[in-house]
Amino acid sequence: MTNEYLKPMAGLPRRVGVLAALVCLAFMVPLPASGEWNDSIRWKAELDATFSGGRNTPFWLVNNLQGLSSVERDNGYFRLSAFHDMDTTRRFTWGAGVDLAVAWRFSSTFIVQQLYGEVKYRCLSAMLGSKEMSGCFNNPRLSSGNLLFSNNSRPIPQLRLGIFDYADIWGLRGWLGIKGYIAFGAFTDSRWQRSWVSEGGKRTDGVLFHSKGLWLRNGNPDKFPLTIECGIEMATQFGGTCHTLDGDVIRMPHSLKDWFKAVVPLKGGSDTPDGEKVNVQGNMVGCWNFCASWTPKADWSVKAYFEHYFEDHSQLYIDYRWRDGLWGVEADLPDNPFVSGIVYEYIHMKDQSGPLLNDKNDKVPEQVSGNDNYYNHYLYAGWEHWGMGIGNPMVLSPLFNRNHDIRFRSNRMYGHHVGITGDPVPGLSWRLLVSFSRNWGTYAAPLEREMDNFNALAEVTWRPAALKGWEGTLSVAGDSGPLLGKSLGVGIKISRTGWFDFKKRKR
Residue in 82, 47, 88, 51 with CA at minimum distance from that of residue 68:
47
Q: 3-class secondary structure for 185-224? A: EECCCHHHHHHHCCCCCCEEECCEEEEEEEEEEECCCCCC
Phi, psi of 431 (to 5 degrees): -145, 140
pLDDT greater than 50 at residue 294: yes
CA distance 277 to 272: 7
- Average pLDDT along the chain: 89
How many residues make up the chain in this entry?
A: 507
Burial class (CB in 10 A: 0-12, 13-18, 19+), 503: exposed
**What confidence score (pLDDT) does residue 3 get?**
40
Mean pLDDT over 304-314 rounds to 90
Q: Which pLDDT score, from 0 to 100, does residue 189 have?
A: 97
Residue 366's CB: how many other CB atoms inside 10 A?
9
**Residue 54 bridge partners (DSSP):** 487
Please state the rounded mean pLDDT for residues 204-231: 95
Q: What is the pLDDT of residue 6?
A: 36
Work out the burial of residue 418: count CB atoms within 10 Å of its CB; fewer than 13 is exposed, 13-18 middle, 19 or more buried. middle
Cα(207)–Cα(189) distance, rounded to whole angstroms? 9
Structure confidence at residue 178 (pLDDT): 97
Chain centroid to CA 284: 17
* Band of residue 101 on the pLDDT scale cut at 50, 70, 90: very high
Q: What is the distance between the alpha carbons of residues 195 and 345, in angstroms, rounded to a whole number? A: 36
pLDDT for position 18:
46
pLDDT of residue 88: 83
Q: Within 10 A of 214 (CB to CB), how many other CB atoms are there?
A: 16
Q: What digits encode the pLDDT tens for the residues 147-204?
A: 999 999 999 999 999 999 999 998 888 899 999 999 999 999 999 999 999 888 999 9
d(CA 240, CA 377): 14
Q: Which of 178-192, 322-336, 351-365 has the lowest mean pLDDT?
A: 351-365
pTM higher than 0.85? yes
How confident is the model over 227-282, as pLDDT tens digits? 999 999 999 999 999 998 888 899 999 999 999 999 998 888 888 888 887 788 99
How confident is residue 362, by pLDDT bands cut at 50, 70 and 90? low
* pLDDT for the residue numbered 4: 37
From the list 37, 57, 36, the residue with the least C-alpha distance to 48 is: 57
Using the predicted structure, report yes or no on whether residue 361 has a pLDDT greater than 80.
no
Q: What is the pLDDT of residues 379-429, one digit of tens each?
A: 999 999 999 999 999 999 999 999 999 999 999 999 999 999 999 999 999
What's the count of helices (H) and strands (E) in the chain, helices before strands? 6, 27
Q: Is the pLDDT higher at 363 or at 471?
A: 471
Pairing of strands 388-389, 124-130: unpaired
Are 230 and 290 within 8 A, CB to CB? Answer: yes
SS3 384: strand
Residues near 64 by beta carbon (within 8 Å), at least 6 away in sequence: 140, 144, 145, 150, 151, 152, 393
- Cα angle value 259/263/86 (rounded, 5°): 100
CA dist., res. 248 & res. 90, Å (int): 54
> DSSP assignment of 309-365, as one string?
EESSHHHHTTSS----EEEEEEEEPPS-SS-SEEEEEEEE-S-TT-S-EE---SSS-
pLDDT band (50, 70, 90) for residue 39: low
pLDDT of residue 23: 46
**Taking the CA of residue 388 as centre, how many other CA atoms within 13 Å lie in the half-sphere pointing to its CB?**
26
Residue 25 pLDDT greater than 80, yes or no: no
C-alpha closest to that of 395 among 147, 132, 73:
147
Mark 31-60 as b/e (b = at least 16 C-beta within 10 Å). Answer: bbeeeeebeebbbbbbbbebebebebbbbb
CB 375 within 8 A of CB 383: yes
Tell me the C-alpha distance between 475 and 493, whole Å: 9
Of 11-15, 51-55, 451-455, which has the strongest mean pLDDT? Answer: 451-455
- Output the CA–CA distances (angstroms, integers) from residue 350 to 217, 328, 438, 485, in the order listed: 30, 18, 10, 22
Distance separating alpha carbons of residues 107 and 222, to the nearest angstrom = 48
- Asked if the model's pLDDT at residue 314 lies above 80, the reply is no
pLDDT at 357: 64
C-alpha torsion 415→479→431→140, nearest 10: -50
**107-134 tens-digit pLDDT:** 999 999 999 999 999 999 999 999 999 8
Half-sphere exposure of 426 (CA within 13 A, CB side): 3
Per DSSP, the residues of 266-291 read -B--TTS-HHHHHSBSSEEEEEEEEE
Confidence of residue 363 (pLDDT cuts 50, 70, 90): low
Residue 15 has pLDDT above 50, yes or no: no
pLDDT at 206: 96
